[in-house]
Chain A
Amino acid sequence: MVIVWAWASQGLGVGNWQIASVNHKEDLVVCLDLLATTASILELQAHLEQYTRQGGTVVLLLHRHHGYHQDHVKTLLALQLPADHGSFQCFLFGEGADAVYLTTNPRGLLGTAGTFSARVNFGGQQLDVSAVADADRKELKPAHFNYVWQLYQLALRRRIFELREDLFSYLGQFLPRPNFAPGELYTLLSRPQDRLLLLRLLSFVGRIRKHSDLAREIRIFERNNNNILTFEDCGIQLEAAYGPLAAEQHNALVTFLRQNLLASGEAVHVVDLRKRFDGLLLQIPGPTYFS
C-alpha cells in the first residue's frame, strides 16, 4: 500500500513500514510525502512498477490536499505495466470521511499530523487509537492494514452495490407501479429530501465537476454520513481492475441513468433498471463486504 500524505509535517516521516505478522511478510506500507507535480507522478509510476513486480498488488492512496485530483488518477491508471507485473488501484482520499483515518474508523491507519495514532472521542470519552504494533521496528498492526486494504480492494463493488440498494429502497415507496414516465424520476429526485441520492447518482454518472458547488455539497454529506459516497473515475477504475466488460456495463448503465433517470428520456421500468445494475455487479467479482 502506497500512501501519499503529510508524513513529513511533524510525524514519523517518509519511509516503509512492515506488517507485524508472519502472514504479512510480503506486505508493506510505503509512506511518501509528495506534492502533486509532474516529477511526483513519474516517481509514483516508478513505485508502481517496482511494487507490482513478481505479481505484486498495489493500492495507491493520494491525498487531495497534496494537490492530487482525478486527472492525476487517470494518468496513473493509464500506466501500462509489463505483462509479468501484478496490478494496482489508485484512489484519492481526504476532504471527506475516509476510512483510512483512525479518527473516522478505529481500524484505520492514518492518525493525526503524519502519524499512525490518534485520540478520538467516542460517546464523550477520549480513546487513544493506534495502528502501530512496534514503533522501533516500524511495524503496523495487521488488523488495521487488512481493514484498509480490503476496504479499498472492495471499494468499487461495495459503493455500486450500496447505491443500488439505496436507490431501490427509495423507489420502493412508489411501488407497485412498474414504470416511471419520462422525466418523472428526475422530478421526484429533485425534491430537497432526496438530495443525497440525487448527488450520488450524479457522481456515479460523472456529472459532478471537481471544485464545483455540487462537489462541495456531496463532500459535506460524506463527512456527516461518515462514508464515501462519490464515484470519481469509476469507469476507468473498473476497466483497470476488472477489464473491458466491466467498463462496458458501466458505460451502458451510466448512459441509461443519464438519459432516463436524470433527464427526460424514456420511461424507466424498475425491474429493467435492476437488471442493469446487476449486469454491472456481475462484472465485478469478489465479495461486497468482508467480515
Chain B
Amino acid sequence: MKTGLFIEGGRPLPPVLAAFFNRAGYQLVPLQLAQDTWPFLVKSAAALLLMLPDSSQGMFLLSGQLWHRYLLDEAPECQVLFASYQAVSHPNHLDILELPTAPTNWIAQAFPVGEMKNLPPVEGMDLQEKLHRFFAGHGDDSIVAVLSRIRLVVQMASREQQRMNTPYPEIFQELVAPAQLDKKWAEWRNRWINYYPLFENTPIAVKLHSIARAATQVEDWMMTGGRDEESLVNGTILRILNDIRKELQQIEKQYVVQKLSYPYR
C-alpha cells in the first residue's frame, strides 16, 4: 500500500473517497500541520490529496496553488490531487459525486506536480491572491510596510542608545514617543488578525503561527508606546521584530515573488 496524505481543510473526508484510494492501492492518512514532522511526511508520500475548497473562518478557501508551489520546491515527487463537490474537469481533480470507475487508471493519468500546466478551476477564495495582497495589496499600507515602519523606529532607537549612549528617556522623548508605536502596532495587529487565520490549512501555517507567537511577545511594549527601557536596551524588541521580518521575507520569497507561470483560473 502506498501512503497518500490528505488535508481535510475543515471538511470531513467522505468514506467514498477513502474507499476510492484504497482500491487504487493507497492508504489515506491525515496530514497534521500542527506537527513539526509534516514536511518529512510529505517528502516521503506518494500523493497529497486536498479537499477543496477548504472550509475555514466562515469561508471556502483555495489552498491548492500554495500547496502546488510548496511541492514544486520541496517534494517534486509527490503528486498533488484535488477533490471537491464541484463539477470540474481536470486530470488531477476528483468530482466526489461522480468518481471515476477505475481508480488505478485515474491516478496513473494524473499529472506529476512538475507537469501540471494549470490547477483545477475550483470555486472559492484564492489564497494565493490573498497572500499577494497580504504583502503588497495596499501599497504603502501593506502589512510588511507597516511593520517596516515600526521596525525602523526601534532600530534607530537601539542604535542611538548603543552607539551614542544617549539616555533612553531622551530617546523616548525625541524619537519613540512621536512615532506613536502603539497606534502603528494596533494598525499592524488589526491587519494581521484579519489575514493569518485564513492560511491555517496551507504550508505557511506553521510560519504564521510562529510570527503570531513572536508578535505576542512585543505586544505590551508596543501598546505602551515603547516606554519600557529595558526591553529595548537589551535588544529583545529588535530581535523579535527581525525574526518576524525574516519569516515574512521567506514566505514572500517562496510564494509571492516566485509567481507561478500559469493562470489559476
Contacts and interface: CB of A to CB of B under 8 A. Distances in A.
Contacts of B133: 291
A289 B14 contact: no
A168 interface: yes
B85 A168 contact: yes
Contacts of B193: 106, 122, 127
B138 A143 contact: yes
Contacts of A169: 11-12, 55, 85
B138 A270 contact: no
Nearest to B11: A169
Contact of A225 (B19, B58, B60, B219): B58
Interface in A276-291: 278, 288-289, 291
Interface in B6-65: 11-12, 14-16, 19, 53, 55, 58-60
Interface in B169-221: 186, 189-190, 193-194, 219
A226 B11 CA distance: 18
Residue from B85, B123, B129 having most chain A Cβ neighbours under 10 A? B85
A278 B186 CA distance: 42
Given A172-B12, A274-B97, A165 B190 contact: no
A112 interface: no
Contact of A172 (B14, B53, B55, B129): B14
B96 interface: yes
B123 A288 contact: yes
B143 to A, nearest CB: 12
Contacts of B99: 176
B87 interface: yes
B243 interface: no
A173 interface: yes
Nearest to B129: A291
A128 B187 CA distance: 9
A165 B53 contact: yes
Interface string A133-147: 000000000010000
A17 interface: no
Nearest to A227: B58
A106 B194 contact: yes
Interface in A125-182: 125, 127-129, 143, 161-162, 164-166, 168-169, 172-173, 175-176
Contacts of B160: none
Interface in B94-141: 96-99, 123-126, 129-130, 132-133, 138, 141
Interface of A: 106-107, 122, 125, 127-129, 143, 161-162, 164-166, 168-169, 172-173, 175-176, 225-227, 270-271, 274, 278, 288-289, 291
Given A172-B12, A288-B124, 9 more contacts: A122-B193, A129-B186, A161-B123, A169-B12, A175-B16, A274-B85, A274-B97, A288-B123, A291-B132
